[in-house]
Amino acid sequence: QQKVQQSPESLTVSEGAMASLNCTFSDGTSNNFRWYRQHSAKGLEVLVSIFSDGEKEEGRFTAHLNRANLHVSLHIREPQPSDSAVYLCAVSMRSSALGRLHFGAGTQLIVIP
Amino acid sequence: ETAVFQTPNYHVTQVGNEVSFNCKQTLGHDTMYWYKQDSKKLLKIMFSYNNKQLIVNETVPRRFSPQSSDKAHLNLRIKSVEPEDSAVYLCASSPTGTGNTLYFGEGSRLIVV
């Protein structure tokens, strides 16, 4: 059973400082990784998808994947107060049925002006 | 821009009642999903439909039943709700094919009293 764990549980940063979020997964055959953002009482917004080791940048959001270490991270450059939200890591296994994403419990990011 | 629409956004009901949540997507996707998000923000897949065919059915209680009239609609009915059904139910859609991103609606919050 795939386990996805995120850290930290909560992160407070000042506006403009880099924010780094971590996600570890248990199944080494995982091949699809996504970071979603969820503002309070809202749906999920996909930020960046990554499928191979290395980095993938989408605007101010950069995902870094190291499958050997079972680790994927998200770095937010110049965070703004509007980036305050819950960030969810989603992992899909090669053996999974279509669309079955395994989610972490999220990191609550608070950006202080 | 929202392209996965859920109704109602919020519903309070008593134990034993029946509830239905509706979902419509305007993205032209072939696959739709229902996820349940608990109070700790953890998301778990419940059902997945591809072209009106059920392809994933997690071991959810029998009182939950998905209903699809066409590939753009996927509803969720809950017969005789129980307190543990209180959660946010998120509908999503994606194109067919592995590695495709899921697009989520804003969720339907259910409170069972």
CB contact under 8 A, B2 and A86: no
CA nearest to A85 within chain B: B41
pLDDT of B98: 59
* Placement of tokens 């450059």 in the chain: A77
Give A98's pLDDT tier (boundaries 50, 70, 90). low
3 state DSSP class of A50: strand
Q: Are A30 and A16 in contact (CB under 8 A)?
A: no
Residues of B in contact with A23 (CB under 8 A): none
pLDDT value at position A94?
59
Token pair, residue B23, equals 């979902």
* Coil, strand or helix at A44: strand
How many angstroms separate the CA atoms of B28 and B32, rounded?
A: 11
Pull the structure tokens for residue A11: 């992160």
Question: What is the structure's pLDDT at A28?
Answer: 86
Stretch B92-106: mean pLDDT, rounded? 82
Asked if A49 and B41 come within 8 Å (Cβ–Cβ), the reply is no
* C-beta atoms of A98 and B101 within 8 A: no
Instruction: Tell how strand B10-13 and strand B108-112 pair up.
Output: parallel
- Give tens-digit pLDDT for A88-97: 999 987 555 5
Q: What is the DSSP string of B7-76?
A: E-SEEEE-TT--EEEEEEE-S--SEEEEEEE-TT--EEEEEEEETTEEEEE-S--TTEEEEEEETTEEEE
**CB of A106 less than 8 A from some CB of B:** yes
Chain A's closest residue to B46, CA to CA, is A100
Q: How do residues B2-59 score in pLDDT, each as one tens digit?
A: 699 999 999 999 999 999 999 999 999 988 999 999 988 889 889 888 876 787 676 7
Tell me the per-residue pLDDT of A51-75, one tens digit each, with 9 for 90 and over: 999 999 999 999 999 999 999 999 9
Distance CA B98, CA B89 (A): 23
Question: Is it the case that residue B110 has pLDDT exceeding 90?
Answer: yes
CA dist A10 to A42, A103, B65, Å?
19, 16, 35
Window B:8-27, CB contacts with A under 8 Å:
none
Question: Chain A contact for B104, CB < 8 A?
Answer: yes
**pLDDT tens digits, one per residue of A1-25:** 788 999 999 999 999 899 999 999 9
CB of A32 within 8 Å of a chain B CB? The answer is: yes
**Is there a cis peptide before residue B66, judged by omega within 30 degrees of 0?**
no
Q: What is the pLDDT of residue B52?
A: 67
Mean pLDDT computed over A98-110: 86
**Model confidence over B78-93: pLDDT tens digits?**
999 999 999 999 999 9
- Residue A99 is predicted with a pLDDT of 59
pLDDT band at A100 (very low <50, low <70, confident <90, very high): confident
pLDDT band at B100 (very low <50, low <70, confident <90, very high): confident
Q: Tell which of A6, A32, A38 to mutate to test the B interface (max B CBs under 10 Å).
A: A38
Amino acid A29: pLDDT = 85
* Burial class of B13 by CB neighbour count within 10 A (0 to 12, 13 to 18, 19+): middle
Min Cα–Cα distance to chain A from B91, Å? 9
Long-range contacts formed by B62-70: CB under 8 A, 24+ apart = B66/B34, B68/B32
